[in-house]
Amino acid sequence: MFFKFIRVIARAILAVVNGNAHYQNQEKLPEGNYILVAPHRTWWDPVYMALGASPKQFSFLAKAELFKNPVLRFILVHLNAFPVDRDKPGPSVVKRPVKMLKESDKGLIMFPSGTRHSSELKGGMALISRLSKKPIVPSVYQGPTKFSQLFKRTPVIIRFGDPIDISDIKKMDKAGLAEVERRVQGAFDQLDQEINPNYKYVAKEKR
């Protein structure tokens, strides 16, 4: 109920702030659970992803530091978030989302790059998909990356792609992970091209 409530609030706030969101290919979202992935381009793109995939509910991974604040911890826990220690991830980073994907009706939102400033895909997505036997659904966000641009009604576009089946990849070794990365990155590139052939995301450098 808390997830649904927050989503209603978020939809209302974004409608007032921007009101120019477009969700494409929603019919490609599969029945049942899946892992919704995208390149991380701004801190509000997961909000738009969850809105575009509504009424599906999701869990997601969040850095452990965010859970130190008791108020934020309460919100994150009730939004089905899992804490991740980026220095020492541990097996629970995979086990907990796999368990939720297999035993609940909640999907998982992941950003394989792990950061807004990186384009390198991580192996956790592949392992979670393999163990849970759930498909990977690619999506991309194109829109404002600065908060001020949201108020200018700059268009926001979320486009979903065809589910990616990796069940044919027998081993998640270096070669297997490279093939998963190739398929997922290829899907991201294709979706970006379908929205705008001239689009190019430029990541900001970390200070």
Predicted confidence at residue 83, as pLDDT, reads 82
With H, G, I as helix, E, B as strand and everything else as coil, classify residue 197: coil
Name the amino acid, one letter, at 50.
Answer: A
User: What is the Cα–Cα distance from 84 to 75, expressed in whole angstroms?
Assistant: 16
Phi and psi at residue 22, to the nearest 5°: -130, 130
Q: For every one of its 207 residues, what pLDDT tens digit does the chain have, with 9 covering 90 and above?
A: 788 888 899 999 999 999 999 999 999 999 999 999 999 899 899 999 999 999 999 998 888 888 888 888 888 888 888 888 766 666 667 888 999 999 999 999 998 875 555 555 567 889 999 999 999 999 999 999 888 888 899 999 999 999 998 989 988 888 999 999 999 999 999 999 999 999 988 766 543
Pick from 197, 183, 204: which is nearest to 41 by CA?
Answer: 204
Predicted confidence at residue 91, as pLDDT, reads 67
Pick from 157, 146, 153: which is nearest to 195 by CA?
Answer: 157
- Take residue 6 and report the two structure tokens written for it: 């927050």
With H, G, I as helix, E, B as strand and everything else as coil, classify residue 61: strand
Assess contact for 26 and 52: CB atoms under 8 A: yes
Predicted confidence at residue 116, as pLDDT, reads 55
Pick from 83, 180, 174: which is nearest to 129 by CA?
Answer: 180
Predicted confidence at residue 85, as pLDDT, reads 74
- Take residue 72 and report the two structure tokens written for it: 């934020």
Predicted confidence at residue 122, as pLDDT, reads 67
